[in-house]
A and B are shown apart, each in its own frame.
Chain A
Amino acid sequence: MDNFYLLGIFAAMSLATMLTRSLPFVALAKVKNHSTLDQFGRLLPPMIMVVLVCFGLVSLEIESIDRGGLSALSFVVVIVLHAYFRNPLLSILVGTGVYVIGIQGFGL
């Protein structure tokens, strides 16, 4: 394990995080066109969230029908719980619990 490489990756990611969060504070004084920025702020986040959900699906490595069914079930659990209770913690914990039990308990 190369600790130097790990710290380099951490540093690069830390710098990128700070850059994205500080950009409007540093640069906004010079930006006049707020409506375009607003549009970005409004449209981009939900699109990126869709991409991240898809990225997560890919990372789940669904290679069998059982695994696919378990993923679909866990998805539905999260959506239904969130639609009714609107409690992010509850939705995430129970959905993940269903998935973990399926993987570990039933060997899916």
Chain B
Amino acid sequence: MTHPTASDFWEALRDSAPVMFGYIPLGMAFGVLFQSLGYHWLFAPLAGVIIYAGSAQFMSVGLLATGVSYTEAFIATLLLNSRHVFYGLSVLNRYPKQGLARWYLIFGLTDETYSLITAKPPEFSKNSRYFVYLTGLNHSYWVIGCGLGASLQSFFAFDSRGFEFALVALFLVLLIEQIRTMKERWVIVFAVCASILAYVLIPNQFLLAAIGLCLIVVIVGARRGEVDG
């Protein structure tokens, strides 16, 4: 722990700048969409503070509009965020072993925070103060974005039509990034088929059905040892 506090903070600020440019407009898009539900605008930044998951928050707007149960919201979020289960695997040894910082870092392990943390050399694992700053900065960009979008919508009657595309674009970009680095590209074909099948069979439960079908493909693939593509 040779790094003084100030330089840790500035380093985290510098490293997190690209995330700021991503999170603020995206958070704003969520805030604008959220306002279509008609709740007080302060609930949008609150969602950013306690949920802090981009795709899940966008999904929540649809869930709230259709009036789903708490259980459905819980399960849908669990499935949507299931990829995060695998993020922990590669930062297990980098994170502090106990304390409040550990649990905050785990809570704040978003796609972007994960990619910044894993981009750091292993010797950084001793420096949990840097990780806390980085996670906290990213979290705050997101909350600020959610608040800005929702409050601007409330005060200036911001026209939000079309902004829902930001979500599709985000997923598309993440998909392109993942296709670039993966070997087993055949799973993409299965995922497209699973999506079409889910849309045709159970359009009301599209997300659950499609991700469920994908899970089955991976499980069957793993069991049969045929995932060497």
Give A contacts to B, CB under 8 Å. 1, 3, 5-6, 8-25, 28, 36-60, 71, 74-75, 78-79, 82-83, 88-89, 91-93, 95-96, 99-104
**In the assembled complex, how far is the CB of residue A7 from the closest CB belonging to chain B, in whole angstroms?**
8
Contact flag A96-B176 (CB < 8 Å), given A15-B74, A23-B85, A58-B206: no
Q: How many A-B residue pairs have CB under 8 A?
A: 255
Establish whether residues A78 and B169, one from each chain, have CB atoms under 8 Å apart when the complex forms: yes
Contact flag A36-B165 (CB < 8 Å), given A18-B107, A46-B179: no
Give B contacts to A, CB under 8 Å. 18, 21-22, 25-26, 29, 37-40, 43, 46-47, 50-53, 55-57, 60, 62-64, 67-68, 70-71, 73-75, 77-78, 80-89, 92, 95, 102-103, 106-107, 109, 159, 161-179, 182, 184, 187-188, 190-192, 194-196, 198-199, 203, 206-207, 210-211, 214-215, 217-218, 221-222, 227
The binding surface of chain B is classed by DSSP as: helix
What's the Cα separation between A5 and B69 when bound, in Å?
Answer: 9
Contact flag A92-B195 (CB < 8 Å), given A42-B184, A43-B184, A44-B214: no
What's the Cα separation between A52 and B166 when bound, in Å?
Answer: 12
Contact flag A78-B173 (CB < 8 Å), given A17-B53, A40-B222: yes
Cβ–Cβ < 8 Å partners of B68 in chain A: 9
Cβ–Cβ < 8 Å partners of A22 in chain B: 88, 103, 106-107
What's the Cα separation between A19 and B56 when bound, in Å?
Answer: 14
Cβ–Cβ < 8 Å partners of B52 in chain A: 14, 17
Establish whether residues A96 and B169, one from each chain, have CB atoms under 8 Å apart when the complex forms: yes
